Structures are given as structure tokens and as C-alpha cells.
Amino acid sequence: MVQELKRLTLNLELQRYEEDIHRYEQLYQEEFNKLRQQILNPTSSDYKHQIDILMYSVESYLNNYKHRLLRQIRHREACFHTNLIRQRRRRQSLMTENNIQVHPQIIVDVQKVALNDAQLQFLSQNVHGSNFLSSCSSCSTRKKSNQVLRVTDKSGIVHIGDANDYEQKAQAYREKTKAYIELENDPLSVVFDKAVNLLNDLRSKKHILAWQFDKMMPKREDAQLAYLYFVPKPHKEGTPLRPMVSSMHMPTTGISKFLDRLLRPLFDQHARSTRIIDGVDLIRPLQAYTTNGYLKPTIYLCTFDITDLYTMLPPEESLDILTEFLLEHGYTKVNSVSIDAIRKLARLALTENVFTYEKRFYRQVIGGAMGSAFTLSLANVFLWKWEKPLLQQQLNTNEIYGRYIDDIFFTSNQPLEKIN
């Protein structure tokens, strides 16, 4: 609170300082123009010559004086900035001294761990390091014992599980969602050609700008097929797995990132009232809800999550809802890109999710890849359509509704049977 007040005071002082400089500059220009008009009235040519010399001298003096003042101002600004940095570093140093180093515990989901205490402690302390797995000397031991070591989905700690259990859960997930089909051949070159052909077509018809074309165009020498892996979710019963697709060098990655940067700000702008960013963002509407007297003993605070959000998105319906979202908010183009071009790019990014898993090739035929930049934006827009009737009902009854990706929170005064 004190820091916010200091920051606000500093901003006000800087704004007042800049306004004073602007006002002084205007006064100087006005007085200088008045003097110039008074001096330039006489008719004698000799006198005019002397006046020109005088004006040049006055102007030179004023310019030198102005530059000297500017140098002084810049020096004071630099000193002020240095003091701010010193104070910040001093605060950070004090905070660091008072911190207690805490390392997350490893979740063990096997009867006997193939690691000793020192190796477990090393993993706990280095879980966020870039080479904590490669530097662990127990890799061969884990392979022999058929154990899998993964960083968990949300808590970011290490989970040690049985490799056979992992594979059974992965197989069950694929069968349940029916989101993947196996391919006979490596699809990388086909996807690359589709991406290049679409971008060339859109650029030749001037549906995208040159810099947009360059951003999305893949490079053949950098193209690599994505791969699928699963991360455990120990915060849920039975430790289910979440599928992740690593597609950093896929030919469609540039298109996916471009669409995400194009559409996510629009969703954030027009759906701000239903988005929950973090815990503090949820506290604010709860405080207003309480202040306005809506919190009663009969109120239910409800949460639920959407199962397999990313793998349940129907491709064409999702694109139709994306078009509806843009048109409803008055967009026929976004950053010079037409809705038709956006649909074509989105369709390619959505339907060409191909990857390798356990030395086999697959295509995702339902939903978008978890790990693709565009998938989250498309899922948000898809849920925007689904949320409409529920949101309107909540607004009509002065109840709260908010969503963080696939986790939903709302309040209700309805009977529990109706809520369920």
C-alpha cells in the first residue's frame, strides 16, 4: 500500500514537472516572438543589419542557456534514477536475508524408489534448473527399475511413477477422447508444404502484410516434428495424466503464435468481466458481493472444472464461434487481416496437429494441442459462446461468475439439486 502511494506521488510529481517545462517553453516562445516583431519594424537597411546581428546573438545565447539547463536536468534525472535503483537493491537484499529457503517435496508413486536420499534431495533443490534431469547420475538406475520421473502439471514438483502405469493411463486417455489417429508415414513435409502454400496464397492476394508473412513463414532447415508426452496431475484423484505436445519447431508454430498474439488481446478486452487472472482478481468481486449485501447463509460457493477442454473442441464449430465473436464485437479485420484469412490460418493450425509418440506418427483430429499458443485463445473464445446463457442468468440474479481457463467459480442461491 505504501509503495503504491509512493509510486502515485512520484508519477504526479513527474507529470507536474513536465507540465511546468512545457509552460515555460510556451512563455519563452511568446516573449521571443514579441521581441522579434518589435525589433523588425524599422525601415533603415543599416539598422536592420544591426538588428539581425543582435537577434542572432540573442538566439545563440538562449540556445546555449537552454542546452545548459537540459544538461543539468539530465544529470539530475540520472542521479534520481541511480538513487531509485540503490533503494530497490537495498530492499531486495533485505528481503533475501529474511527469506527461508524451502524446497518442494518429491511425490513418490511407486513402492520402492530407485534413488537414494542424496539424489532425491538434489532433485528437490534443482527441480527448476535447466539440467536437473540430465545432471542426475541415476538415469540408468531409473531405466532399469522401469520408473518415470516427471515435473508435475501445476505444482511444478517432481513425481516418480511406474512406467507401466504411465503407459496404461496414456492408452486409456487416447481411447477415451478418441482425439488421435495413427498415421503410416512421417507427415512433416506435407504439413510444411501446406503452411507454405497457404501463406504464399494469402500474401499474393494481399490478405496479409509482408511483415506478417515473414513472421509466420516456416524455415525448412528448422522444421521438426512435434512429440507428445504426458505429465502427471497428482492434485487430482488417481493422478491422471495431461497430454502435452512439444511443437516448438513445427511448420505451423509461427502461424499459431501469430494468431494467439492477434486474438488474445481482443478476448482479454471483451471478456474481462468473466476472466479470473489470479486469487486477488477473485477476491475483488467477492468483496463487492459482500459489501452489497448479496452474501447470505443460503448462498453456495461453487467450483468445477471442464474435463479435457483442449481435446473436446470441435474444429469447424470452434471456427464458426471465432467468426461470431469477431463479428459481434465489430471486427471485419484484425490488424489488416480479414476474418476469412484468420479462419484459413486457424483451420491449418487446428487441423495439422501431427506428432510422434513412442516411435509412431499421429494426428490430432479433435480439439487443439496442449502446448500450442493458439489453442488457449481458441478455447477461451469457444467457452465465451457456451458461457453466455449462464453469465446472463448470474447477472440477472446479482451472482458471481468467473473462469480461469478450465476452472470455473460461481455463486448461487438456487437449491443444490438445481445447481447439480
Distance CA 271, CA 262 (A): 15
Contacts of 121 (CB under 8 A, 6+ apart): none
What's the burial of 138, exposed, middle or buried (CB within 10 Å: 0-12/13-18/19+)? buried
Please identify which residue in the block is written with the cell numbers 505504501.
Answer: 2
| Residue 250 contacts residue 224 (beta carbons within 8 Å) | yes
Q: Which carries the bigger pLDDT value, residue 414 or residue 106? A: 414
| Interaxial angle between packed helices 253-270 and 373-396, expressed in degrees from 0 to 180 and rounded to the nearest 10 | 20
Query: Does pLDDT of 198 surpass 90?
Result: yes
Query: Does pLDDT of 119 surpass 70?
Result: no
At residue 333, what is the residue type? K
pLDDT tier at 420, thresholds 50, 70, 90: confident
Q: What is the pLDDT of residue 138?
A: 41
Distance CA 164, CA 387 (A): 39
Residues 131-162 pLDDT 10s? 444 444 444 444 556 777 777 766 667 777 78
Nine-digit cell string for 323: 467468426
Please identify which residue in the block is written with the cell numbers 516583431.
Answer: 37
Q: What is the pLDDT of residue 104?
A: 56
β-pair type (226-232, 354-357): parallel
pLDDT tier at 358, thresholds 50, 70, 90: confident
Among the listed residues 156, 89, 164, the one whose alpha carbon sits nearest the alpha carbon of residue 127: 156
At residue 349, what is the residue type? A
What are the residue ranges of helices labelled H in 241-372? Answer: 253-270, 279-291, 315-328, 339-351
Query: Does pLDDT of 329 surpass 80?
Result: yes
| Residue 239 contacts residue 274 (beta carbons within 8 Å) | no
Please identify which residue in the block is written with the cell numbers 463487492.
Answer: 288
Sign of CA dihedral 137, 142, 143, 149: negative
Half-sphere exposure of 86 (CA within 13 A, CB side): 6
Residues 73-93 pLDDT 10s? 777 777 777 777 777 777 666
| Local structure of 101: helix, strand or coil | coil
Nine-digit cell string for 36: 522579434
Average pLDDT for the chain: 80
